[in-house]
């Protein structure tokens, strides 16, 4: 039941306040069209308010918002280890920590040809989208999902870093494309860190890890001789040979 003193005539299945009818008549448009314009006006106002809030957020609030989204990473296990029976698999955040340390030490030894800040930043941020996406094993992520996974990662990352300098988004996009020396180095060291972990899991007798050793992609060096030597050292420590790609 509607209040006849407040609402006017019915139009299009809805009742509109009398004041809106008066304004609509003055502006010589239908009440339905007038109502739509009012609705769009308020949507525009809310959008502008949201944009204003995003641009006027304090640094402290942005930090709290970012870490609220990424804090689960220390509880997200590396899926490949979990699926192969490793009882206490490394978390995504632990992997990123070890990769960053590896990158720092590598750059201390081989500083030429790389932007140090970019490499270290890429190593820190490279798996942050997994806070929402979870860790997707390589055969599924690369072999089945392909560009869909990369698009999802970039979208999530951009949402995480909204309001922060654009260079973080640029670094992440560069990392996905893997065309620069820094991006290739991080991608290569990512595999080195993984195989170091596999080495010690194997020594501990944790999990069924043979397919890691048998997959040439796990020894990817991206054409960097120094990374290749690291892979050779890992294989030698396991008394194995680096597998060759099948034609």
Domain ranges of the chain: 7-56, 68-237
- Helix/strand/coil for 89: coil
How far does Cα 25 stand from its chain's mean position? 52
Distances (CA, A) of 42 to 36, 39, 47, 52, 69: 10, 5, 9, 15, 29
Q: Token digits for 216?
A: 């040439």
Digitized pLDDT (tens) for each residue of the chain, 247 residues in all: 444 444 444 444 444 555 555 555 655 555 455 555 666 666 677 667 666 666 668 999 999 999 999 999 999 999 999 999 999 999 999 999 999 999 999 999 999 999 999 999 999 999 999 999 998 877 777 777 778 889 999 999 999 999 999 999 999 999 999 999 999 999 999 999 999 999 999 999 999 999 999 999 999 999 999 999 999 999 999 999 999 987 5
Q: Token digits for 56?
A: 């006027």
Within a 13 Å sphere around the CA of 197, how many CA atoms are in the beta-carbon half? 25
- Helix/strand/coil for 11: strand
Q: Rounded CA gap, 198 and 212, in Å?
A: 8
pLDDT tens for each residue of 138-179 = 777 777 777 888 999 999 999 999 999 999 999 999 999 999
Specify whether domain 68-237 bears CATH 1.10.3210.10: yes
């Amino acid at each position: 039941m509607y209040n006849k003193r407040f609402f006017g005539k019915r139009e299009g299945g809805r009742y509109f306040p009398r004041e809106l009818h008066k304004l609509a008549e003055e502006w010589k448009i239908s009440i339905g069209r007038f109502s739509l314009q009012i609705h769009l006006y308020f949507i525009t106002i809310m959008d502008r308010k949201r944009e204003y809030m995003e641009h006027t957020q304090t640094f402290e609030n942005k930090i709290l918002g970012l870490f609220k989204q990424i804090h689960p990473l220390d509880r997200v296990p590396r899926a490949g280890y979990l699926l192969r029976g490793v009882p206490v698999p490394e978390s995504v955040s632990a992997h990123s920590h070890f990769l960053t340390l590896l990158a720092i030490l590598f750059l201390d030894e081989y500083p030429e040809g790389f932007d140090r800040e970019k490499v270290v930043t890429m190593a820190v941020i490279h798996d942050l989208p997994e806070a929402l996406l979870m860790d997707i094993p390589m055969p599924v992520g690369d072999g089945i999902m392909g560009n869909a996974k990369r698009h999802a990662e970039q979208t999530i990352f951009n949402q995480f870093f909204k309001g922060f300098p654009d260079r973080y988004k640029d670094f992440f996009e560069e990392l996905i494309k893997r065309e620069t020396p820094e991006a290739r180095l991080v991608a290569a060291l990512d595999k080195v860190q993984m195989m170091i972990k596999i080495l010690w899991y194997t020594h501990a007798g944790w999990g069924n890890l043979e397919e890691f050793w048998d997959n040439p992609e796990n020894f990817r060096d991206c054409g960097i001789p120094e990374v290749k030597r690291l892979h050779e050292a890992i294989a030698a420590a396991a008394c194995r040979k680096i597998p060759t790609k099948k034609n």
